[in-house]
Amino acid sequence: MYILLIYLLKYFKLIKERIAERWQGLNFFENVLFVLTVPAEYPEKSIAIMRECAYHAGLLNEIYSTKLKFTTERENIHFLSKIHDYLFNFL
């Protein structure tokens, strides 16, 4: 869990900086939805650990925030195919 937390701390710090640069004044905790991809067979306990680490890394202002969603790899492929142009034009 400690290694995941360190990774998320660095990763989310970078993401927050990039968002702040591009959308000044944006309320991070209200206006940003994070979607993390997990394998389809990932147990709920592991997802709960990832949520806890995201909270401790400062991604969430409350541990059960609705601003963090988990999706399977298959769902993510479908999602990315739908918003491909949007993501690459704005990020």
Question: Lowest mean pLDDT: which of 1-10, 19-28, 52-61, 76-85?
Answer: 76-85
With 90 as the cut, is the pLDDT of residue 82 above it? no
42: Cβ–Cβ under 8 A, 6 or more apart, which residues? 72
With 90 as the cut, is the pLDDT of residue 64 above it? yes
pLDDT at res. 35: 85
With 70 as the cut, is the pLDDT of residue 85 above it? no
How many structural domains are present in the chain? Answer: 1
Q: Please state the rounded mean pLDDT for residues 3-29.
A: 85
Owning domain of residue 51: 2-90
Give the DSSP letter of residue 45.
H
